[in-house]
Each structure stands twice: as C-alpha cells, then as structure tokens.
A and B are shown apart, each in its own frame.
Chain A
Amino acid sequence: MIIQKCTDVSCDNIFAWLNQGPLTLTITLHLIILVPMVWIYLQEKRKLQHRPPEES
C-alpha cells in the first residue's frame, strides 16, 4: 500500500504521514513540483502561439 497509517514518534506533521509508505514523499514532492510546471508550459505555449511569427 502506498499510503499507510503513521506510526512515527509524533504524527502531528504532514511529512511524518507522507514518509510512511514507500516513495510516498518522493511522489508527492515531485507532483508539487511538476504540476505547476505543466501550468507554466501551457501558459508559455499559449503565449508563443499568439505571437506573430517572425518574418524571415
């Protein structure tokens, strides 16, 4: 199971919970980093699409 019950000394912390299952913390942190990057990508794409092509 990816998400397991927290069994650490103190469980009053989001990282203690995330650190329980295998790779849970890694997956979460990568998600937090990558999701805004998708948003940045789409924004940049829109910007480039609406820019007039350079004349050669």
Chain B
Amino acid sequence: MSQHDPSVWSSTSFWRRSAAWVTGFSAILLIFLTFDTMSQIQMGSDEDLKTGKVRRVPAPTVINHAIEYKMSRKRGHEVPVIGEEQPFFGKIWSPEDARALLHKGKVTVQAKNCMDCHTLLGNGAYYAPDLTKAWLDPAWQKGGLMQTLTRTHSTEEAMAKFLMDPPKYATHTRRMPNLGITRDEAVAIVAFLKHMSAIDTNGFPRNFSKPHQGEVTYAK
C-alpha cells in the first residue's frame, strides 16, 4: 500500500465528525448548565432562613428579617446578611402571606413599568437609581434623608409614603412621576424591593455601598 501525505483539512469526513462532536458536546453542556442554573436560582424555604442556610435567593419570609449589606473579604465584594427577625409594616408575615405579597409587588412593578427608568437585577434603564439594592440604601435608613423628608420612622414606611406621591418628596431634577400607586400596592412593592435586596447578586451593582465605608478588598 502506498504512503502519501493527503490533506485532512479538505476531508469531508473530518469536518463532519468534528461538527458532530462540537455540536453534541455543546448541546449536552447547555442542557447541564440550564439545570444547574435552575437549581442555583431556586427560591429558598422558610426552613433555610431558620437554620441559617445561605441561599442565593432567600424565601419570601426574608421580609420579616433585618437585612444588612456587609463586605466579605473572602468573596471580594459585599453580600447581603440576613439578620434577626424584624416586623415588616408592624407584623410578621406568614410564608403564604409573604409569597402573595411579593407576587403582588412583582406584578405591580411590571404594571407600573418601573424598568422604563429603573434597573432591577440588571434589567431596565439607567435614567433613575438602580433598585436592586434600594432597600439597603442609607438614604432610606434611620437618620437618612428620605425618612426625614417623609417624616416616618422606618424604611418601609418611608418607601411606601414616597411611592404613593413621589413628586412631593423629590430630591433630584429627574422627578419620579406620580404613578397612582395605592397604599396596598406600595406595601407590596416595598416587600418586593426588600426581598430583592436579600438576593446574593455576586456584588452587583458595583460601588453601591457608601464610599467612606468602602473597605474594598479585591480578590487576589
């Protein structure tokens, strides 16, 4: 049998087998990654909150807890830390009520088209402040500007009062319009925002925390 040096690059068989391998492998990988992502973004349970199990997306009852945003040296960015039980609008919500409230908050946010101006979890516009970690914004906390302006004594009350009549408490030339949000809708939106702030977003949005507290340690 004679030996010669044919070009593999012009061989149809080589390209056909390579294409089959690449397509097949990529398809299997994508299916695996889809299921892996689904398990990672699945909402945690009330039990996880009680046992302190860290979940990327906590249970709806996280609204009954204090949430802090603390720098993690290990992670290289800030992470939400779920603290002690804390009444939300003066009461502790049951898992069913909390879930229903979050759902109402989500559909209200969709109905009022908040993403037309704001960003939520990376989706939306950058005309108005990013709402992903709005609950943790110092302006809404005790002694913050918004509690002073709205004459309230809690973050949830300040947010609800603001949402019901935003132009009245404007702090910027880009004024949020009055969207006709009712008290019930405002409570639901605040619950939705509080839950969203407890989601571990790997430090997104960047540079959210107060600059003077920024104990920034980058991963080495």
Contact = CB atoms under 8 A, between A and B. Distances in A.
Contact of A53 (B4, B13, B54, B75): B4
Q: Is the interface of A mostly helix, strand, loop or mixed?
A: helix
B14 A44 contact: yes
A24 B116 CA distance: 36
| Size bracket of the A interface | 20 to 34
Contacts of B26: 33
Given A7-B76, A13-B36, A44 B29 contact: no
Interface in A2-16: 4, 7-10, 13, 15
Contacts of B6: 45, 48-49, 51
A49 B25 contact: no
Nearest to B5: A49
Given A4-B219, A44-B17, A9 B200 contact: yes
A36 B21 contact: yes
B14 A7 contact: no
B29 A29 contact: yes
Contacts of A44: 8, 11, 13-14, 17
Interface of B: 1-6, 8, 11, 13-14, 17-18, 21-22, 25-26, 29, 33, 36, 40, 54-56, 74-76, 200, 202, 219
Interface of A: 4, 7-10, 13, 15, 29, 32-33, 36-37, 40-41, 44-45, 47-53
10 contacts: A7-B76, A9-B56, A15-B33, A33-B21, A36-B21, A37-B18, A37-B21, A44-B14, A45-B8, A52-B2
